[in-house]
Amino acid sequence: MALTHTFALGREQCFQQIEKLTNSHSLRGSESLCRLLRYLAEHSLDHPGVALKEYQIATEILGRPTGFDPQSDSTVRVQAGRLRVKLAEYYAHEGQEDPILVELPKGSYALNFHLRPRQGSRSVPVVITPEITTIPPTLPVSRRPTVSVVVLSILLAASLATTGTLLWVRSSPRPVAAPPVPESLQILWSRFVTSTQPPWIIFSNGRFVGRPETGMRYFNPSSDSGSFILDHYTGVGEVLAIHQLDQLFVQLGRPLRVKRGALFSLDDAKNNDLVFVGSPSENLTLLDIPGTQEFVFDRPNTGPRAGDLGVLNVHPQPGEPKIFMATPPNKETIEDYAVVALLPGLVPSRSILILAGSSTFGTQAAVEYVCREDSLKALLQRLHVSKASELKPFEALVRVKIAHGVPMTTELVAVRNHGG
């Protein structure tokens, strides 16, 4: 937790801010994130400077067994990332006037508490300290100053001058070096950050009919031809995915452009690198351009899951099913499948990245998968790629485990490398 000599705040005030956060619209729907926030707050305030381990968080808060391995299970990192998103969401809306800011820096599980800066000033880190009363010792008083008193006075003055200079130097703003971008992220995203134009992020916004207050459904051309179409809705997973991509491109030092699928044109496809967020069932633009060839979103016509969206395995390998299906739509979603596909653009110098799940949660997980160092390492190893020049078009299928609408874990199920 950040410390300063300039301001002291009671821990009770910090806990009051934590309770306000857990009761907010942004967080109250996720009990697991609220438990995590309270746990991190208690540890940060009661044990400042003591680092938390992923194993502690996983076994004490997230209910993982004692055999939990953080190297193979990214649950803690995923939940911490979601908590960062929720904190940013809260302070961007409900908490715009809150005097205390709570942050969870990347790469750490220690919360930072800051005072909201006044206009034109920087935020002030907070130190939580007990009150200390100092009683000076009783000394005999002399009527005339001695030589030793004069010497001590001179030394004290020099010390205060030196201390003031050091404090001024420390408080002066200094440029903060950006953390290095992990190699796996550089390999996958290099073609999207080296182009002269920023890529377009195209997010899905499916076509619906009906009314929000009485119920909506997907537009069906055969039965809804005369109905008014609503095309300005998108899923929560897409929203969080765009936020994740924005953070990634800040880390990569490049801007990005965002457009909803209904406004996308073929001219965009010809002249730009593209990242599609969402499956063709909602991101309808994907139906107009060459898409995936190995893992294709499809709805079976027969069988117990007829009409449900799944991922068709065009060329199944030994032991692989012909189609991958998520949790049935009439039940709480606990499993989904997502496609991560790097494809050539409509012109040789452009690239297309498709990040899509059968549900909005799978889409969110697909984006998180390509924004994390550990998952990208596993993917690049399966593709036998160690540098950007070796990366060829590919398609990958990821299984997603979901709890209470939150993607918890991802597992790479299958990979097809178009480069052979």
Return the percentage of the chain with pLDDT > 70, whole number.
Answer: 80
369 and 245 co-located in one domain: yes
Domain end, chosen from 78, 103, 125, is at: 125
Please state, in angstroms and rounded to a whole number, the distance separating the CA atoms of residues 351 and 361: 25
pLDDT digits (tens, 9 = 90+) for 355-413: 999 999 999 999 999 999 999 999 999 999 999 999 999 999 999 999 888 899 999 99
**Higher-pLDDT residue of 168, 35:** 35
Average pLDDT rounded to a whole number, residues 268-273: 81
Structural domain of 32 = 11-125
Classified as helix, coil or strand, 105 is coil
**Cβ 390 vs Cβ 264: under 8 Å:** no
Question: Would you place residue 348 in the very low, low, confident or very high pLDDT band (cuts 50, 70, 90)?
Answer: confident
Q: How many domains does the chain have?
A: 2
- Asked whether residue 319 is domain-assigned, the answer is yes
**388 half-sphere exposure, CB direction, 13 A CA radius:** 12
Domain end, chosen from 78, 94, 125, is at: 125
Quickly list DSSP for 194-233: SSSSPPEEEE----EEEETTTEEEE--TTT-TTSPPB---
- What letter does residue 28 receive in the DSSP assignment? T
202 and 331 co-located in one domain: yes
- What residues contact 188, with CB distance under 8 A and at least 6 apart? 342, 370, 376, 379, 380, 391
Domain end, chosen from 81, 97, 125, is at: 125
Taking 50 as the threshold, does the pLDDT of residue 149 lie above it?
no
Classified as helix, coil or strand, 11 is helix
- Asked whether residue 75 is domain-assigned, the answer is yes
- Asked whether residue 232 is domain-assigned, the answer is yes
Among 265, 289, 306, 278, CA closest to 367: 278
Return the percentage of the chain with pLDDT > 90, whole number.
Answer: 34
pLDDT for 174 equals 52
Q: What is the 3-state secondary structure (H, E, C) of 326-368?
A: CCCCCCCCCEEEEEEEEEECCCCCCEEEEEEECCHHHHHHHHH
pLDDT for 150 equals 45
Please state, in angstroms and rounded to a whole number, the distance separating the CA atoms of residues 345 and 349: 7
119 and 192 co-located in one domain: no
pTM (2 d.p.) = 0.59
Please state, in angstroms and rounded to a whole number, the distance separating the CA atoms of residues 163 and 165: 5
193 and 84 co-located in one domain: no
- Asked whether residue 55 is domain-assigned, the answer is yes
Among 182, 169, 31, CA closest to 107: 182
pLDDT digits (tens, 9 = 90+) for 43-69: 888 888 788 889 889 888 888 888 888
- Asked whether residue 119 is domain-assigned, the answer is yes
- Asked whether residue 173 is domain-assigned, the answer is no
80 and 208 co-located in one domain: no
238 and 370 co-located in one domain: yes
pLDDT for 387 equals 92
378 and 256 co-located in one domain: yes
376 and 293 co-located in one domain: yes
pLDDT for 186 equals 93
50 and 116 co-located in one domain: yes
87 and 215 co-located in one domain: no
**Cβ 202 vs Cβ 261: under 8 Å:** yes
Among 317, 311, 300, 404, CA closest to 361: 404
Taking 70 as the threshold, does the pLDDT of residue 4 lie above it?
no
pLDDT for 70 equals 84
pLDDT for 132 equals 33
Q: Round to the nearest angstrom and report the end-to-end CA distance of the chain.
A: 50
280 and 370 co-located in one domain: yes
Tell the burial category of 366 from Cβ atoms under 10 Å away from its Cβ (0-12, 13-18, 19+).
buried
Vertex 76 angle, CA 383 and 107, to 5°: 80
- Asked whether residue 148 is domain-assigned, the answer is no
- Asked whether residue 159 is domain-assigned, the answer is no
pLDDT for 46 equals 84
106-115, 153-162, 191-200: the lowest-pLDDT one:
153-162
CATH of residue 321: 3.30.379.10
289 and 209 co-located in one domain: yes
